[in-house]
């Protein structure tokens, strides 16, 4: 009964005119950046974060969340029609989706993707609504030692889900944590790593890091790798799947939803891992294995369901523990903070309208996405004809203006340039920026809880092992690190993320 009352509160918040409007704007932008290869939701959320500062907190978060899960929908459209995934998690959809399009069955593939995405998104939002409150109550019992161990576990697990070698991912996390220590000491106020620059006394600006690493760096990489994006697509017909298609997609959608809901909470690229895992499962259990890679509709429905379910459940650790499971979630942490809200278990009690309004908006967003995607397929494909040389200067200009408007400080714009070049160099060296951003966001939380736990225990480091929950979390972190460096796991990671390089 309490859950129904909370959902009623959430829908009363989410259905306010301005919230529905910005939910629509979010999913529209999300679909657009999902369609356009090389931009992605992380860069988009990073660059739009500055303009949300004038919004109400719930409105800002509804829009930013819409961009994220909207991109999961949009990425499948171009993956199916022109074999060019707009979003990393849609890479596996292209394997069978494009083959179906070449066989004249693009309509069935797009419908399978849309139906799977809608069912999975709706079901995963139910999981989020049911699972989040009890997890938040458990999290309230956590002390500094438990939080330190939990953050450490999250950072270590993200290594296993990052592209490149485990050593490079670990180095990126360490660099991110190091950048997070720049500024005044949290307890003594002593300046650290500021190099006599007054602008660094307050720490490195989160928005500058995010926009530079994920906006400017990605643009530089895509300008270097100019790909032909000419879309020659015949008129899509028969959008509603046949009875046989509907029978064949039920199982993959249900299995993909379950896999995605479970893997979405993992730090790193849970949504990417979910889509590839779903594809592998469907291929293994199918009686039509020879069709996979040649136009199997199960190879579209399962992965699309998995990545959309994962996109929704990745909000669980953010809303209950204040820990981001994905770079976009790290940006959402920044959105919470700049609006004066501390993400974590207290949000559900201190800001119930925001908590339940955000969850309710996901149902509204999923309905809007179905209405946006199928009828506007021609429009989304025509977007691919926008030249890179026109699109990307506009994006950089918009990002620079938005970042400058935060504090009217030119230093923030210089920081975008610096981190953009740094991000590009890291990408060229085979290092993924995502673990760096997670380390940058979680580093201060890691340091604060480490020092707080040691202060409370009077410097006794055994407190992390004598408290049962902390000890279990540290043991899991050690196991995750060991697993990440195993040769078999390393080879599997290289295969899974090969399409994303």
- Phi/psi for 184 (5° steps) reads -80, 140
Please report the beta strands in 207-318, taking only residues with DSSP state E, as ranges in sequence order: none
Number of Cβ atoms within 10 Å of the Cβ of 407:
14
Amino acid 88: pLDDT: 64
Q: What are phi and psi of 183, to 5 degrees?
A: 120, -165
Q: How far is CA 390 from CA 39, 384, 397, 400, 455, in A?
A: 14, 12, 11, 16, 55
Per-residue pLDDT tens for 21-52?
999 999 988 888 777 765 667 777 877 777 78
Tens-digit pLDDT profile for residues 384-403: 667 767 777 877 777 777 67
Report whether 42 contacts 328 (CB < 8 A).
yes
**Is pLDDT of 12 > 70?**
yes
How far is CA 417 from its chain centroid?
23
Q: What is the pTM of this model?
A: 0.74
Which of 6, 270, 277 is closest to 157 using CA atoms?
270
pLDDT of residue 230: 43
Residue boundaries of the structural domains of the chain: 2-500
Lookup: tokens for 290: 């020879």
Half-sphere exposure (CA, 13 Å, Cβ side) for 134? Answer: 5
What's the rounded Cα separation, in Å, for the pair 372 and 107? 15
| Mean pLDDT within 56-61 | 90
């Amino acid at each position: 009964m309490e859950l129904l009352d909370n959902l009623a509160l959430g829908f009363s918040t989410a259905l306010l005119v301005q919230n529905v409007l910005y939910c629509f704007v979010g999913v529209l932008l999300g679909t657009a950046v999902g369609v356009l290869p090389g931009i992605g939701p992380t860069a988009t959320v990073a660059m739009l974060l500055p303009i949300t500062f004038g919004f109400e907190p719930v409105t800002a978060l509804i829009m930013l969340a819409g961009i994220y899960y909207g991109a999961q929908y949009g990425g499948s459209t171009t993956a199916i029609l022109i074999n060019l995934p707009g979003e990393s998690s849609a890479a596996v959809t292209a394997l069978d989706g494009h083959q179906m399009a070449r066989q004249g069955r693009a309509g069935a593939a797009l419908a399978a993707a849309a139906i799977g995405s809608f069912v999975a998104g709706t079901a995963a939002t139910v999981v989020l609504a049911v699972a989040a409150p009890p997890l938040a109550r458990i999290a309230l019992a956590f002390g500094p030692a438990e939080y330190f161990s939990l953050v450490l576990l999250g950072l270590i697990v993200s290594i296993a889900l990052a592209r490149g070698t485990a050593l490079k991912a670990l180095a990126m996390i360490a660099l991110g944590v190091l950048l997070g220590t720049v500024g005044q000491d949290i307890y003594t106020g002593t300046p650290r790593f500021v190099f006599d620059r007054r602008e660094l006394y307050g720490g490195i600006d989160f928005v500058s890091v995010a926009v530079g690493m994920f906006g400017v760096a990605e643009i530089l990489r895509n300008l270097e790798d100019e790909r032909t994006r000419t879309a020659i697509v015949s008129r899509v017909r028969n959008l509603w799947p046949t009875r046989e298609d509907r029978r064949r997609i039920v199982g993959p959608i249900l299995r993909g939803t379950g896999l995605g809901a479970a893997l979405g909470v993992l730090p790193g690229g849970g949504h990417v891992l979910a889509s590839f895992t779903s594809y592998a499962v469907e291929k293994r259990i199918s009686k039509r294995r020879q069709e996979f890679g040649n136009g199997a509709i199960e190879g579209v429905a399962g992965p699309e369901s998995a990545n959309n379910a994962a996109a929704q459940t990745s909000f669980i650790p953010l809303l209950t523990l204040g820990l981001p499971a994905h770079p976009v979630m790290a940006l959402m942490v920044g959105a919470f903070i700049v609006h004066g809200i501390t993400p974590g278990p207290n949000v559900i009690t201190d800001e119930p309208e925001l908590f339940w309004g955000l969850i309710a908006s996901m149902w509204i967003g999923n309905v809007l996405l179905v209405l946006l995607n199928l009828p506007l397929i021609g429009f989304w494909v025509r977007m691919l004809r926008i030249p890179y040389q026109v699109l990307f200067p506009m994006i950089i200009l918009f990002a620079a203006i938005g970042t400058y408007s935060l504090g009217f400080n030119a230093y923030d714009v210089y920081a975008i340039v610096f981190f953009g070049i740094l991000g590009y160099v890291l990408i060229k060296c085979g290092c993924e920026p995502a673990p760096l951003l997670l380390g940058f966001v979680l580093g201060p939380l890691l340091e604060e809880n480490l020092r707080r736990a040691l202060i409370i225990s009077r410097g006794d480091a055994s407190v992390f092992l004598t408290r049962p929950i902390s000890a279990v979390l540290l043991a899991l972190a050690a196991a995750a690190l060991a697993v990440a460096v195993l040769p078999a796991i390393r080879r599997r990671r290289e295969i899974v993320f090969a399409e994303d390089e």
